[in-house]
């Protein structure tokens, strides 16, 4: 899904393959008065259709044509479109993809838009400045990660919201977090994970759902644990040149986290499937009591039929703080955009408070500006959904810390190496053998 082969020849081959398999029916070049805009989230489509109406009202003669695709198709067709010359004017960009697109030089600098980083949630705008000092993304929205939980199962285990919001952990014995998910785990004979005779090989309900191996970022898997233990992905906050996957602290986190499988508190590698059995499906089916997941999934968990869910902040780690990855999407303009002038106007509007408030009012995502975020919180509240577990880390800095995806060059190559490496760690139940070698390979790629 995110792999890019190194080298111009290999890259051309990969893109050619993508063209054949996914983009033979690519979008036609738009007319001079139409700006084409691609996004992947169907839940956000109505919000951006509303923004398009506002934009068109302010810019008579300009129209916006929005195309929405699923995640996998989106990146396949977008990558292929750069080769075919059918690229959109504007597209929703992900920080994991930014390094790849920066390598390919397919993005238009947005320095002329006058993006003021102070107008957005801290750090969001800075993440989209390339190594060359140019801006390539206008802040769109943000998300954090929290612990969703089945309220009925939590009550049955004697765990109320207050207790779930005050958990702590450590890599030695897992702390009160491990005790909680042990209590929530139930074998086929009804014994809990903290009771004598619990059978870890025949589990009916896992205390913690699986979200896979986590590749190189572990966003909804191990990232909050690693960060709250003091570990960092690279040597720099942005555009680092040395990864730390060989760090002993990281090894201790992974050994403990994936060791939960052998204890019967988390599903084994063989039971996880990102398409047919993601974390939310495990909670929905009653196979898991809790799941770490992102703010983009709030409406999904809140809408589970017959399952009342709450959300708790991530547990406090050895550093004395809890941690959560804070990701932020952006809108980018393609370098060869067919209608560049209109595209730049559209991106400026997307980043404005007018559009951000409109998106927030739909209650499906947290927009990048404080006003947009406030509108989203109000919209969720009106639906009866408490989102404080996601917003609290931004305000309670005394007890919480946020961090970003690792932003480096050769991002797709890092994924290509770390994806199988982390699957091996997950499948082995926590053995980190081989990560030192993988880390060395990654750092050799960056040192070019």
Mean pLDDT of all residues belonging to the chain: 92
**What's the whole-number mean pLDDT along residues 329-343?**
96
What pLDDT, in 10s, does the model give residues 4-51?
322 333 333 333 333 322 333 334 434 569 999 999 999 999 999 999
Residue 91's pLDDT band (cuts 50, 70, 90): very high
What pLDDT, in 10s, does the model give residues 189-243?
999 999 999 999 999 999 999 999 999 999 999 999 999 999 999 999 999 999 9
Strand, helix or coil for residue 311: strand
CATH of 8-142+329-386, one of 3.30.365.10, 3.40.50.300, 3.40.190.10, 1.20.1300.10: 3.40.190.10
Sequence-separated (6 or more) residues with CB below 8 Å from residue 54: 349, 354, 355, 358
Identify the bridge partners of residue 148 per DSSP, sorted by sequence position.
Answer: 291, 311
What is the crossing angle of helices 411-427 and 248-263, to 10°? 40
Q: What does residue 135 show for φ and ψ, rounded to 5 degrees?
A: -90, 135
Asked whether residue 158 carries a pLDDT value surpassing 70, the answer given is yes
Same fold: 8-142+329-386 with 145-325+410-446: yes
167/162 Cα distance (integer angstroms): 9
Q: What does residue 397 show for φ and ψ, rounded to 5 degrees?
A: -70, -15
Task: Answer for the pair 367, 357: CB distance below 8 angstroms, yes or no.
Answer: yes
Query: How is residue 126 annotated by DSSP?
Result: G
What pLDDT, in 10s, does the model give residues 60-87?
999 999 999 999 899 999 999 999 999 9
**What's the whole-number mean pLDDT along residues 101-105?**
86
Which has the closest alpha carbon to 283: 254, 260, 311? 311
What pLDDT, in 10s, does the model give residues 273-282?
877 899 999 9
What pLDDT, in 10s, does the model give residues 131-146?
999 999 999 999 999 9
145-325+410-446: CATH superfamily: Periplasmic binding protein-like II (3.40.190.10)
Helices (H), 5-94: 8-22, 45-58, 71-84
Asked whether residue 126 carries a pLDDT value surpassing 80, the answer given is yes
Task: Answer for the pair 292, 223: CB distance below 8 angstroms, yes or no.
Answer: no
How far, in Å, are 47, 300, 328, 349, 379 from residue 338 at the CA level?
Answer: 25, 36, 26, 19, 36
pLDDT at 32: 63
260/238 Cα distance (integer angstroms): 32
pLDDT at 31: 52
pLDDT at 336: 95
How far, in Å, are 210, 212, 293, 409 from residue 100 at the CA level?
Answer: 28, 23, 25, 7
Tokens of 326: 């804070």
Domain boundaries of the chain, sorted by first residue: 8-142+329-386, 145-325+410-446
């Amino acid at each position: 899904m995110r792999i890019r082969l190194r080298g111009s020849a290999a890259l051309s081959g990969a893109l050619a393959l993508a063209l054949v398999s996914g983009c033979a029916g690519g979008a036609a070049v738009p007319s001079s008065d139409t700006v084409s805009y691609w996004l992947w989230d169907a839940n956000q489509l109505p919000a951006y259709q509303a923004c398009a109406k506002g934009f068109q009202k302010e810019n008579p003669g300009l129209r916006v044509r929005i195309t929405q695709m699923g995640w996998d198709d989106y990146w396949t067709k977008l990558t292929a479109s750069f080769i075919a010359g059918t690229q959109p004017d504007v597209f929703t960009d992900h920080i994991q993809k930014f390094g790849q697109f920066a390598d390919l030089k397919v993005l238009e600098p947005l320095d002329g838009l006058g993006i003021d980083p102070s107008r957005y949630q801290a750090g969001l705008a800075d993440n989209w400045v390339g190594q060359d000092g140019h801006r390539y993304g206008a802040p769109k929205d943000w998300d954090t990660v929290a612990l969703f939980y089945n309220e009925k199962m939590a009550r049955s285990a004697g765990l109320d919201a207050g207790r779930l919001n005050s958990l702590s952990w450590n890599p030695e014995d897992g702390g009160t977090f491990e005790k909680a998910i042990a209590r929530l785990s139930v074998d086929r004979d009804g014994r809990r994970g903290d009771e004598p005779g619990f059978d870890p090989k025949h589990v009916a309900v896992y205390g913690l759902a699986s979200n896979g191996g986590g590749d190189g970022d572990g966003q909804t898997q191990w990232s909050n644990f690693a960060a709250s233990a003091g570990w960092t992905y690279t040597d720099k906050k942005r555009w680092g040149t040395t990864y730390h996957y060989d760090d002993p602290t990281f090894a201790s986190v992974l050994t403990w986290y994936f060791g939960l499988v052998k204890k019967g508190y988390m599903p084994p590698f063989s039971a996880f499937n990102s398409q047919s059995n993601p974390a939310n499906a495990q909670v929905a089916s009653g196979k898991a009591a809790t799941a770490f997941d992102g703010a983009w999934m709030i409406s999904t968990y809140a809408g589970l039929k017959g399952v009342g869910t709450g959300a708790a902040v991530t547990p406090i780690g050895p550093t004395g703080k809890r941690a959560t990855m804070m990701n932020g999407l952006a809108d980018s303009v393609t370098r060869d955009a067919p209608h560049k002038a209109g595209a730049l106007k559209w991106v400026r509007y997307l980043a404005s408070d007018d559009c951000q408030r409109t998106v927030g009012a739909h209650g499906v995502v947290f927009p990048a500006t404080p006003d947009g975020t406030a509108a989203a919180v109000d919209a969720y509240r009106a639906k009866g959904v408490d989102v404080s577990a996601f917003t609290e880390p931004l305000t309670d800095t005394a007890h919480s810390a946020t961090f970003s995806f690792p932003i480096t060059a050769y991002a797709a190559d890092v994924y290509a190496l770390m994806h199988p490496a982390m699957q091996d760690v997950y499948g082995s139940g926590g053995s980190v053998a081989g990560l030192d070698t993988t880390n060395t390979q990654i750092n050799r790629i960056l040192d070019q």
